[in-house]
Each structure stands twice: as C-alpha cells, then as structure tokens.
C-alpha cells in the first residue's frame, strides 16, 4: 500500500513511518513541523519517504498529499489537557476541523481506508464495580473531595468503595476535557465518512503511550514525559494525588505496530471500529515515577497531593478485542520499557502556548 501518515514527523507518527516501511509499504508524510512541536527541526524523513510540509487544515495541500494514496494513518493532533479553556479553539481547529478537511479530501480522492489515532480519554473514568450494585459509573470527582484527599470515586448509589477494572470498547463514553471531546468528535466524523463513502475506519484508542523521542518540558505532554523531563533537569518527579492512579502504559513501538496491523487487516466498509491499544497490565502513576527515578539514578518522586479537575482516577484497558480480531498484542513489558525510557533521549519541545501541533500523542 501507499500510506499517508499525518503528523508523521512526531513522536508516534515517526515510529509508525518506520513500522510501515519495515512492513514493505510506501509512505508519504504530511506534517506542519510547527516550532511548538519541533523546537529543533527533525532530521529528514527516512530514505524513500516523501515529506509534505503543510497543516492538515490546508485543503489544497491535503488534497495534493493524497494523490496516489491507498490508506491514511491520521496522527496529526493537538494533545493533552492543555493549560486552560482558552486552548479550546486551537484543539477544535486542529483536531476536528483538521480531521474534517482530511476526510473530505479522502472522499474526493477515493481513498477508502483510515486508521485514526484515538484515545482512551473518550471514556472518562474507567470501569468500576460496587460489591452491592455491580458495574457502576461514578460521576466527576468534586473539588471538595479532592481537596480533602478523597481521591477514589465512590459508588454513586451507596457511596461504598469501588473496585477498578479493565475498560472495554463498549463502555459508555464520557469525555471530560476539551481534548477528550475533540477525540470523540474525530471518531464521529470518521464514522460519518465511512457510512457516506463505504470506507473502512479504525480508531485505535491509545492508552498512556511512552518511549524514546517524547517531547520534554511542555505542559501539553503526558505524565511520563513530565516525570522524565524532571529527572533530566535533576529534579524529583512530582506525583499528583497519592500516586495510586491506575493507568495502562504502552510503549510507542507497540502502538506503531498496532497501526500497521490495523491498516493491513481486512476491514468491513461503511463503519468505524474502535479498539483499545494498551498493555493490558495496569500500573499506578506512583509506580511509574519510582521505576523511572530508580533506573535514571535521579531523585525519588515526591507525592504532592495536588490534583487537576480534568484528571480521572483510574483508566486501564482491555485490549482483548484487538488481540482477538487483528492478532495484535503488546510486546514490551513495563519493566523493560521503563528501563529503556529512563535514559532514552527526549525531543525538544516549546513550553510556550502552542498553536495546533501534529504528531505528539500522550494521554
């Protein structure tokens, strides 16, 4: 296949490019190379890869980049919780308008295969069970509870403690930030495109992606990058809440492999299929911070008790569906992945408020 990778110069996108080349595909990259995402201009693309430097919202550029393309791997996005709600126009413009421009151009060019970078943030909180009421959906945590250090969401019916579990793709969606809302909108747009054109669309709902080449020193990065950046500066990683938040940390190489598998597998037309992409093995944020600090040889993490209202307590993945249907499974375990990441080079990224940024994806 001849595949267009949007955001293909970024953290995840560049690894997908390498994976697709290894699988024997021809690859073209579309990336705006904005300074906010690439303070230091990246090295040129791998041999044989055509580079189109343009914003995904540029209709003419996107249309031209789709010439001769069989499938699109859409990674370009602005990610993370951002600083405050003033970022909302940038998120919506890049993530949703950009996706709409891309899909419209694909419809016009007859490109009928899409792999979309989705995110676990569409779920809100993960899966919880109450001993009395079974599976329940706790609402957003209150400022009062968080300030008092009551971080675990209680049962919405009886107030009892809940047991967190693995979320599956059929869980109700509950986006709780602007970023989360734009990621869900991307899926809705892709589903509408698939129904209208008969195309096949797969949304890979990434869980917490980490690995070499993550951006450093930016408020738009995820927690793995923030901890690793602190260690590189000689500082202790600062852990919010009590460090007991459960996440699913998945290595960027595994995420790249999931994209290659999704593009190559037979897929029904006219619909969007969503898959969780995670390791399937939960770890706490405190465990991750401790593992990075120990392997890096830096200061031990500091648990601050602080919080962000946009954060959820526990969100961990069941990746059983993608394993059963596409044959993908993560191969890099937590210990080995964190040992590598603890000393791997990071990518320079601006700490200033950016415009839309392609190619950086960490939840």
Residues near 183 by beta carbon (within 8 Å), at least 6 away in sequence: 77, 95, 118, 119, 121, 122, 175
* C-alpha span between 45 and 49 (Å, rounded): 6
179 is catalytic: yes
Residue 10: phi and psi, rounded to 5, are -90, -170
* Tokens (6 digits) for 61: 């550029």
Distances (CA, A) of 249 to 35, 166, 173, 269, 289: 27, 13, 20, 31, 12
Instruction: Kindly write down the DSSP assignment for every residue of 136-179, as one continuous string.
Output: E---PPPHHHHHTT--SPPPTTT----EEEEE-TTSPP---SHH
* C-alpha span between 253 and 250 (Å, rounded): 9
Q: Are strands 134-136 and 127-130 parallel, antiparallel or unpaired?
A: antiparallel
Return the SS3 of 79: coil
| 194, containing H or E segment | helix 178-197
Catalytic residue chosen out of the listed positions 91, 179, 206, 275: 179
Give catalytic residue positions: 179
């Amino acid at each position: 296949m001849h595949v267009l990778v949007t955001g293909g110069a970024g953290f995840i996108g560049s690894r997908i490019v390498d994976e697709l080349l290894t699988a024997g595909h021809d690859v073209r990259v579309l990336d705006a190379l904005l300074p906010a995402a690439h303070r230091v201009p990246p090295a040129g693309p791998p041999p044989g890869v055509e580079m189109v430097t343009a914003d995904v919202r540029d209709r003419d550029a996107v249309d031209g980049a789709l010439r001769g393309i069989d499938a699109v791997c859409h990674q370009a996005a602005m990610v993370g919780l951002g600083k405050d709600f003033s970022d909302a126009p940038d998120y919506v413009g890049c993530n949703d308008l950009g996706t709409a421009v891309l899909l419209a151009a694909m419809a016009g060019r007859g490109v009928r295969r899409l792999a979309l970078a989705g995110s676990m943030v569409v779920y809100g909180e993960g899966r919880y069970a109450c001993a009395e009421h079974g599976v329940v959906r706790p609402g957003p945590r209150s400022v009062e509870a968080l300030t008092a250090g009551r971080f675990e969401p209680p049962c919405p019916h009886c107030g009892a403690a809940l047991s967190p579990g693995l979320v599956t793709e059929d869980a109700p969606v509950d986006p709780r930030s602007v970023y989360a809302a734009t990621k869900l909108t991307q899926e809705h747009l892709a589903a509408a495109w698939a129904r209208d054109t008969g195309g096949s669309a797969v949304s890979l709902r990434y869980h917490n992606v980490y690995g070499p080449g993550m951006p450093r020193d930016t408020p738009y990065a995820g927690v793995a990058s923030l901890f690793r950046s602190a260690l590189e500066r000689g500082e202790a990683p600062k852990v919010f809440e009590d460090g007991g938040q459960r996440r699913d940390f998945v290595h960027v190489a595994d995420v790249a492999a999931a994209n290659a598998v999704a593009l190559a597998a037979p897929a029904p037309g006219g619909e969007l299929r969503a898959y969780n992409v995670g390791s399937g093995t939960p770890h706490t944020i405190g465990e991750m911070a401790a593992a990075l600090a120990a392997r890096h040889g830096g200061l031990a993490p500091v648990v601050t008790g602080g919080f962000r209202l946009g954060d959820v307590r526990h969100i961990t993945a069941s990746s059983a569906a993608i394993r059963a249907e596409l044959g993908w499974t993560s191969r890099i375990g937590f210990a080995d992945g964190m040992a590598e990441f603890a000393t791997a080079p990071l990518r320079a990224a601006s700490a200033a408020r950016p415009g839309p940024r392609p190619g950086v994806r960490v939840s």
